[in-house]
Amino acid sequence: MGSADLANLSDKLMLTTVVLYIVAMVAYAADLGFGRRRAATAGTEEGTGAESEAGAEAKEKAKVLVGAGGAAPADGAATATAGTADADTGDEAGDEAATGRRQVDWARLAITMNVLGWAAHLGTILTRGLAAERWPWGNMYEFLVAIAFAAVSAFLVVLWRFKARFLGAFVSLAAVVALGVANIWLYSSVGPLVPALNSYWIAIHVSAAIIATGAFTVAGASTILYLIKARQEARGAVAGSGPLAHVPGADVLDRLALRVTMFAFPIWTAAIIMGAIWADEAWGRYWGWDPKEIWSFITWVVYAAYLHARATAGWKGRKAAILSLVAFAALMFNFFGVNYMFSGLHSYA
């Protein structure tokens, strides 16, 4: 298969990726709104058998909270939560029997489409790299496509590790928007690297930046969801009601954002260090006050301040969330604003 055929295949896989991510996003949103609803009277209506099932689900939920950094509830708390736990498979089966029709398993549909979209996304990147015979992140289009892939990959890891399905709609939306921007405004045909990027460091420095940015995106989604959930809780919303019914509490979302940030920050640090080494090889200096270098460092400082405040000052909740979003805003400006608003060795202005 020639380069032109591979490039054409990459474009077709990109379209497939976007369609699958859109379906996954809608399914994740439907799962949030119409999925397993909490049944406040499940314990009294279903009897002892339903209480046992709800208790088992509460224990399972406790495991999720511990995995995400939350504290496991005591037995009494688990029992109190049982009445408001998500309706389990048995309840759904009962609903199906009562209505005479099969209920849509939005969660399974969402995850399936997400994984298929991820596979098509990977194929998009690989075929473009093979067509260009280089690492496939040599321009803004390829870089944004790779960041979207890293974000979806980070979400799938969080989904597997912490059962954080509730982030799916938000991360899928971010991926769809990123790929839409990449294809509508940033698309460029397959071609060789510019001389400044023709180095083995592109496989190290840029890859680290892509991975960190993808993980920071997941942390940002968790932080935004935390602020929404915390606002609901502050208003005294009834547990188990509303579109975020089976989203964990605000404290769990806060800890999840912290965990993902702690993973991404060392990688971002390594990307900056490796970028300085590459700059010395390419331009004869480690630091030249280039706009991209400045904003990469500003992003690092704000994320470092966030982690430092959490570790030493005991910051959590709204103050920490705002600082995290400031850092994420700096990261986004570093990618979009610097590349087009300022002239420099790293920019596309």
- Domains identified in the chain, total number: 2
Query: From CA 151, how far away is CA 212, in angstroms rounded?
Result: 9
Query: From CA 146, how far away is CA 144, in angstroms rounded?
Result: 5
Same domain membership, residue 317 and residue 207: yes
Confidence of residue 72 (pLDDT cuts 50, 70, 90): very low
Is 229 a domain residue? yes
Domain ranges, residue 75:
32-99
pLDDT at position 168 over 80: yes
Rounded to two decimals, the pTM is: 0.80
User: In the listed set 60, 76, 99, which residue is the last one of a domain according to the structure?
Assistant: 99
Q: What is the mean pLDDT of residues 288-303?
A: 92
| Candidate from 33-37, 158-162, 294-298 with smallest mean pLDDT | 33-37
Is 109 a domain residue? no
Same domain membership, residue 336 and residue 203: yes
**How confident is the prediction for the chain on average, in pLDDT?**
82
pLDDT at position 181 over 90: yes
Same domain membership, residue 333 and residue 212: yes
Q: What is the mean pLDDT of residues 274-297?
A: 89
Query: From CA 98, how far away is CA 10, in angstroms rounded?
Result: 47
Query: From CA 254, how far away is CA 27, in angstroms rounded?
Result: 25
| 223-275 per-position pLDDT tens digit | 999 999 998 888 875 555 566 767 888 999 999 999 999 999 999 999 999 99
Count other C-beta atoms under 10 Å from residue 34's C-beta.
12
Using alpha carbons, select from 11, 29, 310 the residue that is nearest to residue 172. 29
Same domain membership, residue 335 and residue 232: yes
Confidence of residue 102 (pLDDT cuts 50, 70, 90): low
Per-residue pLDDT, 246: 74
Same domain membership, residue 331 and residue 199: yes
User: In the listed set 99, 117, 133, which residue is the last one of a domain according to the structure?
Assistant: 99
Per-residue pLDDT, 222: 95
pLDDT at position 89 over 60: no
User: In the listed set 56, 84, 99, which residue is the last one of a domain according to the structure?
Assistant: 99
Query: From CA 114, how far away is CA 98, in angstroms rounded?
Result: 31
Helix then strand count (H, E) for the chain reads 12, 0
pLDDT at position 58 over 60: no
Same domain membership, residue 335 and residue 214: yes
Q: What's the N-to-C CA distance of the chain in angstroms? A: 35
Confidence of residue 53 (pLDDT cuts 50, 70, 90): very low
What's the Cα-to-Cα distance from 14 to each of 109, 117, 180, rounded to whole Å? 20, 9, 10
What is the 3-class SS of 142-177, one letter each residue?
A: HHHHHHHHHHHHHHHHHHHHHCCHHHHHHHHHHHHH
Using alpha carbons, select from 306, 31, 9 the residue that is nearest to residue 166. 31
Handedness of CA 225, 227, 229, 232 (dihedral sign): negative
Same domain membership, residue 95 and residue 199: no
Say which residue, 59 or 306, is predicted with more confidence: 306
